[in-house]
Each structure stands twice: as structure tokens, then as C-alpha cells.
Homo-oligomer: A and B are copies of this chain.
């Protein structure tokens, strides 16, 4: 059997990447600088820039997010038997492109002054948060899109994320320290939008290469565990005060922990023999982190514990019942189950935040709530709520409404953006794999000849023998 290959891959992938890097070199040389253009260079303080003291606070979190994105998510995505490199290496590629592209877009959007984009580690961290969305969305079409298509998806999603993020945070003044709405909900429905357009009827009965091995499942679980370990950093990095950060860390840990035990319980319960499903474990044990993100700095320990249980419950059920339903009835094929890990827990978390805002924290963390709100509102004014400073018109009800509105707008923007992007990705001019070669590294990587995916198993061996084996 000849090895399949994509003749157009060599034309498109290197050309696209070289083009992108060429343009970025020019952009970085011309516009990015470590120095604030509003300060003068020749004074003795030239090399000291504002915000410098934050390095010690930001750098550890920067590294944690790095581990999550590159090692954690990369390993987690390499769960397929024949598509391990497609998981970890394309994640590596897409993450880098997404971060660079986000630095440019966010640089123009937020940090462009006097013809210069002031670059601090903070910008890179900000860009990594944006990059997460592309990496999540790609999960919906993992293994059935070429790297060229994935780059296209990323190129489209990042600017839309920046706009929606601005809407959600600056216009709707959402309270969402962990990015549950702006990151998880957005990337989930963007990815599902793309997936719906790229619907593959041939996948309805599954795909012969869409299998895992013990080893790939174990490495994927290791990836999950790396994400799990550093998730508290992710949810607390944007907290406004030390105390809020402290609560966000502990609450995220609690939600992850209760969610993990719930995942074991649910997965065992849903199997006839009481066994754990590894896909559940790889995903649903993280659902608590997604759901608690939006209120991690606000709620009480008991609340975080409960939300974790609820999120992992929904995620497990989603894998078992909703994903097959969506694939069959709604023509939405969700390869990695991003709807279960990011969509459902995101909605649960947002609803939870509304409940918390309406009922709970006014007594307890009201002050902190107000502080969150005001520091995110630079003008002290709000287009809908009117004057903010002094808190005259701010009410729990209005904030609850804002949370819901932000969720709704994000849902609409991301789904619409996903549809447009999917249509673009479907254009025949872009290289895409044929159905037989879905979920196969051989198309994209020079993998070792005697690789694991060609080993013969006892069962297979039986089939191939003219004369039977003695016994197996």
C-alpha cells in the first residue's frame, strides 16, 4: 500500500508560514518596542519602564500557562493512535502562530501609542489567553483538517476573539476572572460553528483510524493532569487583589477536585461493568475549572465544591449522550468533545455566577464585586447603566443581566464567526485531507517506518493467517 500524501501541502504550508513570519518580522521591527515612547531615551531613567515591578508576579504565571498550553494541551490532544504528532505538534504550531498574531492584533487594539506598540511580558500573557481559544476550537475538527486549514481558523478567530473580549469586558463589564465566557464559551461555539460547516457524512459510523491505544490514552491523561495542576494559575492570573487571587486559587482547586471524583463516579455508573471511560477522565476532570472560572474569586468554598460536581456531571453526561446526539441530529461532529468540556460547564458557570450575584455575595464580597467592576470601567460610566462611580445605579440585578447579555452576545458572535470561518476553510483551494486519511500522521510527518501503528495484534494476526494459530 502506497503511503498517501497531499501534493498541495508542500506548496501551501511552507509558503504560508514563511509569508506570515516575513510580515511579522517587518511588523515587529517597525512597531514593537520595549520602551515607552512617551518617555525620553536620553534621561538616566531610560531603561526603567512602568509596570516593571510586576515581573515577579507575572513570570511564574506565564510559565504555568506555558506548561498548560504546550505540554498539557499538547499531550491531551495526542490521544489518537495514529495522530499523536497531529495532536502535540500541530498544537505547538498553532499556539505559536496564535500568540504572535494575538500580540499583533491586541498590540494594535490596546497598546498602540505614538506609532509604537509597547511590549511587556504582560502582552505575551494576554496573547496566550487569546491563543487558547484557537487551540480549543481546533479540537472540534481535530484530525480532519490540514494544518493550513487550522492556521486559517486561527487567523480568523483571534481578531474576532479580541473584539468579543472587548465587548464582554469593556461594554458589558462582565465579572469573569477566569475567562469562562470570553475564552471557553467563545472558543467552543466558534469551533462547533466551523465543525458544522465541515460536516463529514462519512464519519457518521466512526472512522477506522479514530482509535486510541493504552499508551496514547495514558499520555493524554498525563496532559490532562498537567492542565489540572496549573489551572488555578489560569483562573487567578487576572484577579484584581491578592485576596481575590487567593480565593480564585483555592476555589479552582476545589472545583477541579470535586469534579474529578464526580467524573470517576459518573463514568463508572454509566458503564455496564462499572469501568472508567478514559475519555471522560481526560476531559470531565477539568470541567470544574472551566465552570468555576467566572466566579472563582467571588464564591464560597462550598459553592466552588458544588459547581465542580455539577460541571463534571454535565460533562460526563455530555460525552455519553449529547455528543452522539449532536453528531446525528445536528450534524455537529465534535472530535474532542469541546462542547462537553467548554460549552456545558461554561453555561453552568455563567448561570452560577448570575445566581451568586443575585443571591450570595452582596453581603459577603459586595465590596470586592464593586471594586472589580470599577477598576474594569475606566471611564466610570456605562452605556446602559449610566454613571457608575459612587455605585448609584449599579445593582445586583443589572449585573446579572449584563452577565446573561455577555453570554448571549458571545454565543452569537462565536457561532457566526465559526460559520464564516468554516466556509472559508471549505474552499477547495486550501489543502485538505481525504476521508481515508483523517486522523493519520503519515500525511504530515515523516514518521518512523516501523512505527507502532503497524504492529500486528493477536486478533489481527488470526485474520491474516491461512492456517490457524495454535491457540491465542
Contacts and interface: CB of A to CB of B under 8 A. Distances in A.
Interface in A8-35: 9-11, 13-14, 17-18, 20-21, 24-25, 28-30, 32-35
A108 B273 CA distance: 37
B221 A21 contact: no
A222 B241 CA distance: 35
A243 B48 contact: yes
A25 B444 contact: no
A81 B450 CA distance: 10
Main secondary structure of the interface of A (DSSP, over half): helix
A97 B260 CA distance: 9
A214 B441 contact: yes
A190 to B, nearest CB: 22
A14 B261 contact: no
A129 interface: no
Interface string A109-134: 00000000001110010000000000
Interface in A438-458: 441, 443-458
B214 A273 contact: no
B364 A92 contact: no
Q: How large is the interface on A (under 10, 10 to 19, 20 to 34, 35 or more residues)?
A: 35 or more
A31 to B, nearest CB: 8
A213 interface: yes
A27 B218 CA distance: 34
Interface string A357-371: 000000111011000
A19 to B, nearest CB: 9
Interface string A237-264: 0000111111101100110011011101
A458 B456 contact: yes
Contacts of A456: 455-458, 461
Interface in A29-85: 29-30, 32-35, 41, 44, 46-49, 52-53, 55-57, 59-60, 62-64, 66-67, 70-71, 74-75, 78, 81, 84-85
A397 interface: no
A161 interface: no
A269 interface: yes
A131 to B, nearest CB: 11
B119 A265 contact: no
A467 interface: yes
Contacts of A124: 250, 253
A467 B467 contact: yes
B457 A464 contact: no
Contacts of A33: 300-301
A431 to B, nearest CB: 9
A369 to B, nearest CB: 10
Interface in A454-472: 454-461, 463-472
A271 B445 CA distance: 10
A419 interface: no
A217 interface: yes
B217 A448 contact: yes
Contact of A89 (B20, B276, B461): B276
Contact of A273 (B5, B258, B268, B273): B5
Given A10-B272, A21-B258, A275-B446, 5 more contacts: A49-B243, A96-B257, A211-B448, A215-B215, A450-B457
Top 10 A-B pairs, shortest CB-CB distance:
A10-B274, A29-B302, A9-B274, A17-B265, A14-B269, A32-B301, A28-B302, A214-B451, A5-B273, A464-B469
